[in-house]
Amino acid sequence: MLHHRLVWQCASLLLSYPDQDRLNNVDELLVHLDGDTADLLGRTATALKASGPLQASEDYVDTFDLQRRSTMYLTYWTAGDTRNRGSEMLAFAAAYRDAGVDPPRDEAPDYLPVVLEFAATVDPDAGRRLLAEHRVPIDVLRQALTEVGSPYAHVVAAVCETLPAATDREVQRARQLAQAGPPAEAVGLQPFTLTVPPRRVEGGR
């Protein structure tokens, strides 16, 4: 379990807006990891360092803020622009409260780096459950990043290594979502209808 928590913490840092302090923390954590997951995480960290701060920031925005297929908001893929998305996001918030912490105020509770940090530092069992229940959108994200040759594909692959193997049904569902996109509902939308994450201000999370 400790190994998985270290992987989730590294992944949370690497999937957040890039800065040198986060990369330094990743280096410190990687000393305690080995095997395939350490290699995958290390490949992402090395690529971010090699690109430099400005390019890394631009690539992050281009990858995650401007592309629907690589959004890290997990309920976007399971509920899309439908009424169900609100209740699904509330389920994340409820899991945080049940573990004794408040949901984040500056980010949606289904945002993958937030879920990973929760799993790593607060409640690994509840965090693993949330990640496993959203294995399909995580696989869709990994596939999208792999197709464009993004170094972030490696860190998402490392997260997948910590979860139960995808079932045939989950694999099929991921393929369908990748091809058709998330559910949509044109009328009567409730809150939580964001489909493309907002462009981040440079230096923000």
Helices (H), the chain: 2-14, 20-30, 35-51, 53-60, 74-79, 84-98, 112-121, 124-133, 135-147, 152-161, 168-180
In terms of average pLDDT, the best of 39-43, 72-76, 90-94, 161-165 is 39-43
- Indicate whether 196 pLDDT > 90: no
The pTM of the full predicted model, rounded to 2 decimals, is: 0.83
| Predicted pLDDT of residue 142 | 92
- Among candidates 74, 83, 152, 84, which has minimal Cα distance to 119? 74
In terms of average pLDDT, the best of 118-122, 172-176, 183-187, 199-203 is 118-122
Residues 93-115 have a mean pLDDT of 94
- Indicate whether 200 pLDDT > 70: no
- Indicate whether 86 pLDDT > 60: yes
In this predicted model, what pLDDT tens digit does every residue of 149-187 receive, in sequence order?
A: 999 999 999 999 999 876 777 667 766 766 665 555 433
- Indicate whether 191 pLDDT > 70: no
